[in-house]
């Protein structure tokens, strides 16, 4: 009898000897597969007809479907017919059993997921679902819903619910939302992570769903209303909107009592009394001169800006990103010297922390965050224009990546569709209108269509799948704005702005693009929102200028329960 594997003396799991052994073993197995050597099973697959040879041991070790198949009566046959999977997909999945790699695309993900479920290849199933959610805009949400109904894939169902919770405002306006079953809608409304600005948003969506088929949904309405955070409404709202609903009278009474009688709350049986964990979005703006820095926070309820913190920053020409609750400052110039320092400011407790320094000292550079990694791009070191790029990960620190084909500083950078775009800036030859795109999977920079104008120190942001860009300063007092469509790979001009300096504010707020700027010869800053349907800027509010100008404006989470 062979010695049990567990009884043999084993090499340490991290030893070089074991790694070399496993590499040699896998290389030999792959060579057997490529050469069709020692084949002991052949599959005949239809649509179109193809013959796929393989090794029973490898397939059985990868999939319980094959393990059970080969242990059964049919598994003894030298040729096994496969009728419910097309030959191209089946061959891809057999290759996965040897390599662990599955080439998933928008065009084949349906077939790959269905086949992976049949063959019980859980890793491929997970990869297909993750691919669908990551590329939902290319695949379309409607197609994902159809695929979930066809396959009854539990992982896809769970991931779609996570997506719906995260993108609730957009989802709730769609046609498919009106056909959600009660169980799905309940899970969404119960979630503490439901991404809404205010509790009324959840009520409005639920009311739309209810009105779509009121007779059939009347019985479920009180149960779903109970999933709302009723104590976050005021008493007037509860009396006007909740109490008149059939079956919801007691819910409204309990919530009103909870609000009006704090001393009696321990005796009131109500399901949810705390706000959701999701936070309202607002803006945090850093205003500064060389000697003065302060953070302003936008109060959406009051439609005004108020001072949030005063900061001591002795660097200029630094770059900054927001990551979770931390503003991270990269490089810059101090006392005439370029720095590689990296510091983090926690915006909640307003404390500083030093982080690992960049390999290259930089000022006037770009910094972006993509997939949990931070990229520092180009800039200046002294008078030298840099083309170098480095990337930071918590586990690996800073490492060099593929350099820009054209060095530059004072450029703009954004991420879109899992790629990095660097736009404009300048170098020794002057201002640039060049646009470069970086693919982190291939570590390669490629050229995109040039902007219509050269832009030094442009302000660049992504909104609804497009890249918007304008100059930070304008001597004429009128800002030229253009927009890039990554699918058509074209630039188009949009409505200009009347301002001598400008910032497009962070990501969108309330799914709109916000602009902050200062009209020429005016001592107040204007706030406008872009109306895409009518290609115009609508004025929102204005506020007195801080001492200096805004270095950046970022969207932050603002939790009412943490006030």
Tell me the per-residue pLDDT of 61-94, one tens digit each, with 9 for 90 and over: 999 999 999 988 877 888 888 888 999 999 999 9
- In a shared domain, residues 484 and 499: yes
* DSSP labels, 72-104: SSGGGSSEEEE-SS-HHHHHHHHHHHHHS----
The residue written with tokens 């795109």 in the block is 437
- The whole-number average pLDDT for the span 467-486 is 76
Reported as type and span, the H/E element at residue 161 is helix 154-166
pLDDT at residue 280 in the model: 54
Lateral strand order in the sheet of 419-423? 412-416, 419-423, 435-439, 444-447
Asked whether the beta carbons of 459 and 425 are under 8 A apart, the reply is no
Choose the most confident range, by mean pLDDT, from 299-308, 425-434, 515-524, 532-541: 425-434
Among 456, 484, 502, the domain boundary falls at: 456
Residue 5 maps to a domain: no
Asked whether the beta carbons of 120 and 64 are under 8 A apart, the reply is yes
- In a shared domain, residues 226 and 306: no
Tally Cβ neighbours within 10 Å of residue 39. 14
Give the domain CATH number at 245: 1.25.40.420
For residues 507 and 407, give the distance between their C-alpha atoms in angstroms, rounded to a whole number: 27
- In a shared domain, residues 330 and 442: yes
Residue 408 maps to a domain: yes
- In a shared domain, residues 444 and 498: no
Domain containing residue 322: 315-456
Tell me the per-residue pLDDT of 131-186, one tens digit each, with 9 for 90 and over: 999 998 888 888 999 999 999 999 999 999 999 998 998 899 888 999 999 999 99
% helix, strand, coil for the chain, step of 5 = 30, 35, 35
- In a shared domain, residues 324 and 452: yes
* DSSP labels, 247-304: T-HHHHHHHHHHHH-GGGGGG---S--SPPS--EEEEEEEEE-SS-EEEEEEETTTTE
- In a shared domain, residues 306 and 349: no
pLDDT at residue 426 in the model: 94
pLDDT at residue 145 in the model: 92
Residue 140 maps to a domain: no
- In a shared domain, residues 403 and 492: no
Among 414, 431, 456, the domain boundary falls at: 456
Tell me the per-residue pLDDT of 305-364, one tens digit each, with 9 for 90 and over: 777 777 778 888 888 887 766 789 999 998 889 999 999 887 766 778 899 999 999 999
For residues 53 and 292, give the distance between their C-alpha atoms in angstroms, rounded to a whole number: 72
- In a shared domain, residues 323 and 446: yes
pLDDT at residue 546 in the model: 45
Neighbour-count burial of 327, counting CB atoms closer than 10 A to its CB (0-12 exposed, 13-18 middle, 19+ buried) = buried
pLDDT band for position 47 (cuts 50, 70, 90): confident
Residue 133 maps to a domain: no
For residues 490 and 533, give the distance between their C-alpha atoms in angstroms, rounded to a whole number: 19
Which contacts of 377-385 are long-range, i.e. CB under 8 A and separated by 24 or more positions? 377/404, 377/411, 377/413, 377/420, 377/422, 378/404, 378/407, 378/408, 378/409, 378/411, 378/422, 378/425, 379/319, 379/331, 379/409, 380/317, 380/338, 380/409, 381/338, 382/338, 385/409, 385/427, 385/428
- In a shared domain, residues 323 and 232: no
Residue 107 maps to a domain: no
Closest C-alpha among 24, 55, 25, 23 to residue 39: 55
pLDDT band for position 11 (cuts 50, 70, 90): very low
The residue written with tokens 């769609």 in the block is 174
Give the domain CATH number at 62: 3.30.710.10
The residue written with tokens 């059985």 in the block is 60
Tell me the per-residue pLDDT of 401-433, one tens digit each, with 9 for 90 and over: 999 999 999 999 999 888 999 999 999 999 999
Residue 404 maps to a domain: yes
- In a shared domain, residues 257 and 353: no
Asked whether the beta carbons of 159 and 125 are under 8 A apart, the reply is no
pLDDT band for position 559 (cuts 50, 70, 90): very low
- In a shared domain, residues 191 and 255: yes
pLDDT at residue 8 in the model: 45
Q: Which residues are CB-contacts of 156 (< 8 A; sequence separation ≥ 6)? A: 113, 129, 132, 144, 147, 148
pLDDT band for position 9 (cuts 50, 70, 90): very low
For residues 187 and 175, give the distance between their C-alpha atoms in angstroms, rounded to a whole number: 19
Among 431, 456, 481, the domain boundary falls at: 456
Residue 160 maps to a domain: no
Quote the number of domains for the chain.
4
Give the domain CATH number at 366: 2.120.10.80
Q: Report the percent of the chain where pLDDT is more than 90.
A: 48
Name 531's bridge partners.
536
- In a shared domain, residues 377 and 246: no
Closest C-alpha among 255, 304, 259, 309 to residue 286: 309
pLDDT band for position 562 (cuts 50, 70, 90): very low
pTM over 0.85: no
pLDDT at residue 274 in the model: 82
For residues 555 and 218, give the distance between their C-alpha atoms in angstroms, rounded to a whole number: 39
Residue 226 maps to a domain: yes
């Amino acid at each position: 009898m062979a010695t049990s594997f567990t009884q043999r003396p084993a090499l340490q799991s991290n030893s070089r000897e074991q790694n070399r052994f496993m590499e040699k073993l896998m290389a030999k197995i792959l060579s057997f597969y490529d050469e069709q050597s020692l084949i002991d099973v052949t599959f005949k697959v239809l649509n179109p007809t193809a013959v796929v040879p393989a090794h029973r041991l490898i397939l059985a070790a990868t999939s319980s479907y094959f393990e059970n198949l080969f242990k059964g009566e049919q598994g003894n046959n030298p040729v096994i017919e496969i009728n419910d999977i097309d030959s191209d997909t089946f061959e891809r999945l057999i290759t996965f059993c040897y390599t662990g790699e599955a080439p998933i695309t928008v065009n084949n993900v349906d077939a790959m997921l269905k086949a992976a479920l049949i063959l019980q290849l859980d890793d491929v199933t997970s990869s297909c679902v993750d691919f669908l959610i990551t590329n939902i805009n290319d695949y379309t949400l409607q197609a994902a819903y159809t695929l979930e109904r066809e396959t009854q894939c539990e992982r896809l169902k769970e991931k779609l619910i996570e997506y719906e919770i995260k993108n609730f405002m957009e989802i709730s306006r769609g046609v498919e939302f009106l056909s959600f079953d009660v169980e799905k809608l309940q899970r969404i409304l119960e979630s503490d992570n439901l991404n809404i600005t205010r509790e009324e948003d959840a009520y409005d969506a639920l009311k739309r769903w209810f009105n779509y088929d009121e007779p059939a949904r009347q019985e479920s309405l009180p149960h779903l209303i109970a999933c709302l955070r009723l104590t976050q409404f005021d008493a007037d709202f509860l009396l006007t909107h909740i109490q008149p609903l059939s079956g919801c009278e007691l819910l409204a009474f309990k919530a009103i009592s909870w609000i009006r009688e704090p001393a009696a709350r321990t005796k009131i049986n109500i399901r949810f009394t705390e706000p959701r964990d999701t936070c309202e979005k607002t803006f945090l703006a850093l205003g500064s001169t060389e000697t003065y820095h302060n953070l302003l926070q936008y109060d959406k309820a009051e439609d005004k800006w108020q001072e949030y913190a005063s900061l001591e920053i002795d660097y200029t020409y630094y770059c900054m990103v927001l990551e979770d609750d931390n503003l991270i400052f990269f490089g810059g110039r101090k006392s005439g010297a370029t720095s590689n320092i990296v510091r983090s400011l926690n915006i909640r407790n307003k404390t500083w922390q030093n982080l690992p320094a960049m390999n290259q000292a930089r000022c006037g550079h770009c910094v972006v965050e993509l997939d949990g990694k931070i990229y520092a791009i180009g800039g200046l070191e002294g008078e030298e224009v840099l083309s170098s790029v480095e990337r930071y990960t918590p586990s690996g620190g800073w490492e060099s990546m593929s350099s820009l084909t054209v060095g530059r500083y004072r450029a703009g950078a954004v991420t879109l569709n899992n790629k990095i775009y660097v736009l404009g800036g300048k170098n020794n030859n002057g201002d640039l209108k060049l646009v470069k795109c970086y693919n982190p999977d291939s570590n390669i920079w490629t050229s995109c269509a040039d902007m219509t104008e050269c832009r030094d120190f442009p302000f660049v942001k992504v909104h609804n799948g497009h890249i918007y860009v304008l100059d930070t300063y304008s001597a004429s007092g009128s800002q030229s704005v253009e927009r890039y469509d990554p699918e058509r790979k074209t630039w188009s001009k949009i409505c200009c702005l009347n301002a001598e300096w400008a910032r497009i504010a962070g990501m969108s707020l309330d799914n709109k693009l916000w602009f902050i700027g200062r009209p020429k010869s005016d001592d107040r800053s204007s706030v406008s929102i872009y109306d895409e349907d009518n290609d115009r800027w609508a004025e929102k509010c204005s506020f007195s200028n801080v001492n200096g100008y805004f270095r950046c404006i970022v969207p932050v989470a603002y939790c009412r329960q943490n006030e």
